[in-house]
Structures are given as C-alpha cells and as structure tokens.
Amino acid sequence: MVLKTIYIVRHGFRSNWVVNPQTGAYSHTFPTPTGIPSDPSLASHGVEQSHDLARHLVSLQPPISAIYSSPFYRCLQTLSPTVTSLNATRASSSLPPLPIRIDTGIGEFYGLARFDHPIPASVEVLTTHFPGMLDEGYRGAIRPSVNGESIPGLHDRVAYALEDIIRQLDGEGVEAAVLCTHAAVMICAGRALTGRMPEEEGEEDFRCGTCAFSRFERRGGGEGKGEVKGEKKEWKEGEEVPDVGWRGKGVGGGWECMVNGDCSFLKEGEERTWNFAMEDTLAAQQERSFLNDPDSFNNPGTDSVVEREKAAHRKGSPRL
C-alpha cells in the first residue's frame, strides 16, 4: 500500500509579534512558551478552534495514521487535542500511539532579509512542552534559510519536503496522514501536490483560514501508480533546493484537491485567510520603523480585541 490521502490544516488564531525591518530585532507582547519572539502560543480563540478541528479530524475516513507538524509552537498546540483524542481511541483498540513528527520543511515562511530570522525551538526543547507526544528521533529533510526565502524558493522547499514525506509514508504503508502548517506553506503545498502553479503567485487558489482543512487524494487511486521512485535528491545546508519536478504534474505522481480550506466545522467559520498578493501590502509596511506581524489576530496584543478584529474581517479586512 502507498499513501492515498493527505490532510493539511493550518494552525489556529495566535498572539502576535513585531519585527524591526531595519535591524531584524523581533519582540513580542506576551512571553512565548519557547522564549522565541516569533513563536507565540495560540490565543484563547485559537485554542477553541483547535478543539473544533480535533472533533473533525478524528471523524475522518480513512483515519489518520501519521502526523506531521511545523516546528512552531502554535502548530503543535493546534494538533494537541487531536493527538490526545486519536491516541485514546487507538489505546482502546490496543494500537500504539501516534507521535507527531516535527518537520522543518513545512515550517514558517519568512521573506528574504539582510538579517537572520529566528529559528524554531529544537525537538529537545519542544518535548518539554509536549511530553510524550513527539517522535524525538525524526528529522525533516530540509530547513529554510535563516535569511529567508523568495516565493519561488518557498514553493520548491515545500515540494521537496512533501516528496520526502510521501516517500517515507509509501515505504511505511500508511494510507492517510495529516500535516499542520502555516498559511503560505498551505498554499504552496496545494500547488506542489496538484502540480498547478498559477501565472500570478498571488492568485487565491488554495484557502488557508485559521484551522482550515484541506484534503488531497492521490491520482490513480493510490494503487502504486504515483509511488515516488528513483534516488532521493539530497539537500545540503547552503545549497539550492533540489528540483523535484513538481510543476505541471505534482509530487508523488500528483494529487487532486477534494476539499479546499474548509472551515464549516469551526464555530466562527473561516477567519484570517491569506494569499501571496498581500505580500505587496506587507512590503510597503517595511518602509515604516516597525512592521506589525501580519499573521496576528490582535496587533494591540490582548484578547479583548478579538470581537473587533472579527468584525473587521467580516467587513473584508485583508489582514491575515
């Protein structure tokens, strides 16, 4: 058996950070669990979303048999209720627990910069926050550059990471897996799996609201027709991302998007969706002395503004 189904979700609403685009200094309103300014926890609304998401994920068929996550705290926190529920069910059937595999290849997107962006916490540090939940021996095949990435480079990084994950799971006989990641990566993953790269990077093709859910089915029904073949193209630190030939056909033989950014199971529906066209707005903000984090639900930094932010979103606010 080869991998047939991939579920991709985005993390929930989170608190914010600020970066000085001249110096690269990151700061945050609230202390972060890992001590890294750009690694906040979920906001209270995001925690609520994570429980809505868990109820949805545990009901899926085929059931989840492997779990991957970006190394950022908010993604692991989003998955935590799902993992707890899945493993309780597995224990009742005398099945071993499913650990989360932390994969830097599906980690956050930072644009090109003259300074170093923060790197996520190590598996060893994250294990102290999520004891018993992580596969401590797993390592992803690629890491983003600390100086950021171009948008085409991000697409290639995500495609490379996905091909490696698919190759692993084909070998393990896993039928369905879930990946938790970020808005930009969720868009790139949809393009890398389907092989469809739009002429305009900012095209709104794959939806990615907070805790959004997408489902991809392997072309050919997953009967071995799309199995990843050939030698793995090794990536080395400081080198270009190897070309896995995803454009026009998709990684692992190609996939069809069956569900695109569904948020119907969330009490508040779709919130904070995003697309690459918004990067133009963010670039303009860099001319100011400080850049407010565009992925934040509450730039002022308190849960008291959640309703105001939701109202702005309902009126068509472009903020992520």
**pLDDT tens for each residue of 4-51:** 999 999 999 998 767 777 777 877 778 899 999 899 999 999 999 999
Q: Is residue 320 part of a domain?
A: no
Cβ-Cβ contacts under 8 Å for 218 (sequence gap 6 or more): 2, 3, 4, 5, 226, 252, 253, 254, 255, 256
Q: Is residue 319 part of a domain?
A: no
Taking only the tens place, the pLDDT of each residue in 165-206 is 999 999 999 999 999 999 999 999 999 999 999 999 999 999
| Full strand arrangement of the beta sheet holding 100-102 | 100-102, 66-69, 176-181, 5-10, 213-218, 255-262
Taking only the tens place, the pLDDT of each residue in 102-136 is 999 999 999 998 888 889 999 999 999 999 999 99
The residue range of the domain holding 196 is: 5-314
- Residue 298 in this model has a pLDDT that exceeds 70: no
Q: Is residue 170 part of a domain?
A: yes
- Residue 214 in this model has a pLDDT that exceeds 50: yes
Q: Is residue 117 part of a domain?
A: yes
Q: Residue 130 belongs to a domain with what CATH number?
A: 3.40.50.1240
- What are the Cα distances from residue 113, in Å, to 71, 183, 187, 230, 259? 21, 20, 22, 35, 35
Instruction: Please tell me the total count of domains within the chain.
Output: 1
